[in-house]
């Protein structure tokens, strides 16, 4: 396998198997002089961590990050920033069963064909635990951008839990929510129906079932001019970033799937930001809005995990999607520096 590097100018390389000694991230290309915000890193890792409530899997490791390089006296040196997290709860014995019986919905058999080895879970890289490295990388992207564009914000939430969706009233309210406010809702579903959603998730867990869902990401305070006009349109990079996260199956940008049944006079005429803050592949300065669809998790098919499975993964995916958005924005922010002589 190669392709464990994300980004061209602000680059994240990730490594680590879920059953190995550690996972990690190396950030290359982060400019020198960025203030290191240890609290932000910790908070983002905690937000991703499973086992925070009865709603998610019970894996309860602490995910303590150790910075090995790139930071000196509270600032980035301009050198690669390496961060590792030990696997305290690796339990590779759990995978013994899997070695003989590939799990439906997982990629075990595909990996076997591709890489020729019988290691469970594709070397542990197809596990959700890999996303920890993304959150580390995204946190540094956030530190860099927050210093350069203080008003830039990326906030994600759950917009759908199985068949339960946000109402219009919910949507109006969310405009003013920050991440802390979102986190205060069960399943990060910021709705009057939050309790209902929670109940549905717990019922699915008990029944050995799982639920699909939708995450939404809103980026505000976006600097204009991010994105390159042909292959690296901002929307193309954001779509790839979101679809690189496991269990995703669709991504919408701006007005998304709504646009296909509209007419031009109706669509382009109004004052609303129907373009999702991106025109010609380049940010306009308006808000960027994304919707990401997730399959119901396939862990229900894993007999070995019975009772410990995660019935709804969107909640936990939100900090990961936010991280991916930060990484794309940081990459294009550096890119923009060479647009003009």
CB–CB of 253/239 below 8 Å? yes
CB–CB of 275/224 below 8 Å? no
Q: Candidates 23-31, 40-48, 54-62, 188-196 — which segment interacts with a second copy by CB under 8 A?
A: 23-31
- Rounded to an integer, what distance in angstroms lies between the CA atom of residue 76 and that of residue 115? 37
Least separation in angstroms between residue 314's CB and a second copy is 9
Q: Candidates 37-45, 118-126, 177-185, 188-196 — which segment interacts with a second copy by CB under 8 A?
A: 118-126
Q: Residue 88 half-sphere exposure, CB side, CA atoms within 13 Å? A: 8
Among 45, 55, 65, 81, binds a second copy (CB under 8 A): 81
* Interaction residues for a second copy, span 119-148 (CB under 8 A): 119, 122-126, 130, 144, 147-148
* Interaction residues for a second copy, span 314-333 (CB under 8 A): none
Least separation in angstroms between residue 49's CB and a second copy is 20
CB–CB of 157/188 below 8 Å? yes
- Compute and round to an integer the Cα radius of gyration of the chain: 20
Among 53, 60, 64, 66, binds a second copy (CB under 8 A): 66
Least separation in angstroms between residue 52's CB and a second copy is 21
Exposure b/e, 204-214, CB count within 10 A at least 16 = b: bbeeebbbbbb
Site track 270-309 with a second copy (rule: CB under 8 A), x = hit: ----xxx--xxxxxx--------xxxxxx-xx--------
Structure tokens at 313: 């993964």
Between 100 and 176, CB nearer to a second copy: 100
- Rounded to an integer, what distance in angstroms lies between the CA atom of residue 2 and that of residue 14? 11
CA 117 to chain centre: 28
Structure tokens at 117: 């080895």
Between 241 and 329, CB nearer to a second copy: 241
Site track 25-54 with a second copy (rule: CB under 8 A), x = hit: -x-xx-xxxx--------------------
* Interaction residues for a second copy, span 173-232 (CB under 8 A): 204, 207-214, 224-225, 228-232
Least separation in angstroms between residue 176's CB and a second copy is 25
Instruction: Provide the sign of the torsion angle of the four alpha carbons 269, 270, 276, 277, taken in this order.
Output: positive
Structure tokens at 188: 């990060």
Least separation in angstroms between residue 190's CB and a second copy is 17
Between 92 and 181, CB nearer to a second copy: 92
Tokens 């995450």 label which residue? Answer: 215
- State which H helix or E strand residue 321 sits in: helix 314-336
Between 4 and 173, CB nearer to a second copy: 4
CA 291 to chain centre: 12
Between 40 and 301, CB nearer to a second copy: 301
Instruction: Provide the sign of the torsion angle of the four alpha carbons 304, 201, 210, 169, taken in this order.
Output: negative
Count of residues making up the chain: 341
Least separation in angstroms between residue 46's CB and a second copy is 22
* Interaction residues for a second copy, span 145-184 (CB under 8 A): 147-148, 160, 162-163
Least separation in angstroms between residue 122's CB and a second copy is 6
Under the binding rule (CB under 8 A), the answer on residue 113 touching a second copy is yes
Question: Could you tell me how many residues of this chain bind a second copy (CB under 8 A)?
Answer: 139
Among 82, 135, 219, 288, binds a second copy (CB under 8 A): 82
Q: What is the DSSP letter of 35?
A: B
């Amino acid at each position: 396998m190669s392709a464990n590097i994300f980004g061209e100018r602000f680059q994240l390389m990730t490594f680590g198997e879920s059953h190995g000694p550690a996972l990690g991230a190396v950030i290359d290309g982060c400019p020198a002089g960025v203030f290191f915000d240890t609290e932000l890193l910790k908070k983002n890792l905690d937000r991703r961590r499973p086992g925070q409530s009865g709603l998610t899997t019970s894996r309860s490791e602490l995910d303590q990050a150790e910075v090995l390089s790139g930071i000196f006296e509270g600032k980035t040196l301009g050198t690669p920033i390496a961060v590792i997290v030990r696997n305290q709860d690796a339990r590779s014995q759990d995978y013994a069963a899997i070695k003989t019986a590939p799990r439906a919905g997982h990629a075990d058999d595909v990996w076997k064909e591709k890489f020729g080895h019988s290691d469970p879970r594709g070397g542990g890289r197809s596990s959700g635990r890999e996303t920890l490295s993304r959150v580390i990388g995204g946190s540094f992207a956030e530190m860099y951008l927050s210093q350069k564009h203080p008003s830039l914000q990326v906030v994600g939430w759950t917009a759908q839990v199985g068949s339960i969706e946000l109402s219009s009233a919910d949507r109006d309210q969310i405009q003013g929510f920050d991440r802390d406010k979102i986190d205060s809702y069960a399943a990060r579903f910021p709705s009057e129906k939050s309790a209902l959603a929670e109940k549905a998730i717990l019922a699915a867990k008990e029944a050995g079932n799982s639920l699909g869902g939708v995450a939404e990401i809103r980026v505000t305070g976006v600097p204009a001019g991010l994105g390159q006009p042909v292959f690296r349109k901002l929307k193309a990079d954001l779509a790839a970033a979101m679809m690189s996260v496991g269990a995703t199956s669709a991504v919408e940008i701006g007005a998304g799937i709504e646009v296909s049944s509209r007419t031009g006079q109706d669509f382009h005429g109004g004052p609303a930001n129907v373009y999702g803050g991106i025109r010609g592949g380049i940010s306009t300065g308006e808000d960027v809005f994304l919707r990401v669809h997730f399959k119901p998790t396939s862990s229900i098919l894993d007999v070995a995990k019975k009772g410990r499975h995660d019935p709804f993964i969107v909640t936990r995916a939100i900090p990961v999607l936010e991280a991916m958005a930060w990484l794309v924005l940081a990459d294009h922010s550096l890119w923009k520096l060479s647009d003009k002589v």
